[in-house]
Amino acid sequence: MRKMCVQLDEREIPDNPFQPDMWRIVRRYPLTGDVNFYQARPVDVDEALKFNYTPGQFVMMSLLGEGEAPFCISSTPSRPGMLEFCIRNVGTLTGTLFGLKENQTFGVRGPYGNGFPIEKMEGKDVLIVAGGMGVAPLRSLLLYVLDNRGKFGKLTYLHGAKLPGEMLFREEFMQLKERDDLNLLMSVDKDDTGKWTEKVGLVTTLFKDLGPIDAKNTYAAACGPPVMYKFVMAELVKLGIPKHQILMTLERRMKCGVGKCGHCAIEYLYTCIDGPVFSWWDVLRMKELIGRGASDKAIA
């Protein structure tokens, strides 16, 4: 028996890029009926402060016997020690992750992907447009800019959801609305409560209330369902924001997360290492990336 253990140890691959670290759930609560919020940190607490990342990056999360999948980091690196995630229950792995309770563990490897070009964005105005689950990576960017407020210009955040009960982080954003160094606007497609005090309409209706925009000096970041991109990109281009300064986070099915398996390839790009943040300039050259018609001439 002892001999067998030694043999297994000897077979261990040093610096295996696919070896996850074990993380523990510190806090978990529902954001909506099918989306849970998690705060987690490495089981080895000494590793917690060593985990550096950029807003917009993702990790591969795994559970033994269930599989592995990519998830955006929703927290900001400016508040180290703990990572935050939003997980929507859509299938096998997410269903089991959704059921995990505080103190239970799961595997994490990463961070992966390019993230937002924070250094280039410094000194510029920032306009963030989030729809539905798109808030997951964009909350990281929003909190990062708020924590480093002096390094950025004007900050605007537009947030859309289908219904008030489906708006992720609704209470948190209601509180952030009080800040005078942030213009935060929210909308729902439909108010089924009769108590919604913000706008009703698609997220694009919020563009009317933006006020003056210094387009050439602005970086825009958008994330949401594929249908949202077509209309949001049209608005951002209409404002005059240069296409290379319009950024979007895209989802693609992934297996390895490190540019080895080819599952996430689009033409010559790998979403896991060249993305998931792309500029609208990039996307116009990869039409099938977000669905037919998303990059038609009217927008370009």
Ligand X SMILES: Cc1cc2nc3c(=O)[nH]c(=O)nc-3n(C[C@H](O)[C@H](O)[C@H](O)COP(=O)(O)OP(=O)(O)OC[C@H]3O[C@@H](n4cnc5c(N)ncnc54)[C@H](O)[C@@H]3O)c2cc1C
> What are the residues binding ligand X (CB under 6 A)?
58, 67, 69-72, 85-88, 90-95, 136, 251-254, 276
CA gap 253, 298 in Å, rounded = 29
- Three-state SS sequence of the chain: CHHHHHHHHHHCCCCCCCCCEEEEEEEEEECCCCEEEEEEEECCHHHHHHCCCCCCCEEEEEECCCEEEEEECCCCCCCCCCEEEEEECCCHHHHHHHHCCCCCEEEEEEEECCCCCHHHHCCCEEEEEEEHHHHHHHHHHHHHHHHCHHHCCCEEEEEEECCHHHCCCHHHHHHHCCCCCCEEEEEECCCCCCCCCCEECCHHHHHHHCCCCCHHHEEEEEECCHHHHHHHHHHHHHHCCCHHHEEEECCCCCCCCCCCCCCCEECCEEHHHHCCEEEHHHHCCCHHHCCCCCCCCCCC
**Contact pick of 145, 266, 272, 277 for ligand FES (by CB under 6 A):** 272
Judge if the upstream peptide bond of residue 20 is cis by omega within 30 degrees of 0.
no
Which partner in ligand FES, ligand X, none is near 256 (CB below 5 to 8 A by kind)? ligand FES
Which of ligand X, ligand FES, none binds 30 (CB below 5-8 Å, type-dependent)?
A: none
256 near ligand FES (CB under 6 A): yes
Q: Which is nearer to ligand X, 254 or 283 (CB)?
A: 254
Asked if residue 236 binds ligand FES (CB under 6 A), the reply is no
With CB under 6 A as the contact rule, the residue among 21, 263, 269, 284 that binds ligand FES is: 263
49 binds, among ligand X, ligand FES, none (CB under 5 to 8 A by kind): none
269 lies in the binding site for ligand FES (CB under 6 A): no
CB of 54 to ligand FES, least distance (A): 18
Residue nearest to ligand X (CB): 91
User: Smallest distance from the beta carbon of 270 to ligand X, in angstroms?
Assistant: 12
Q: Which of residues 172-211 bind ligand FES (CB under 6 A)?
A: none
Applying CB under 6 A, among 83, 108, 264, 299 the residue interacting with ligand FES is: 264
Least Å distance, CB 275 to ligand FES, is 9
Smaller CB distance to ligand X: residue 57 or 187? Answer: 57
Among 117, 153, 225, 259, binds ligand FES (CB under 6 A): 259
Among 55, 134, 160, 257, binds ligand FES (CB under 6 A): 257
Is 260 one of the binding residues for ligand FES (CB under 6 A)?
Answer: yes
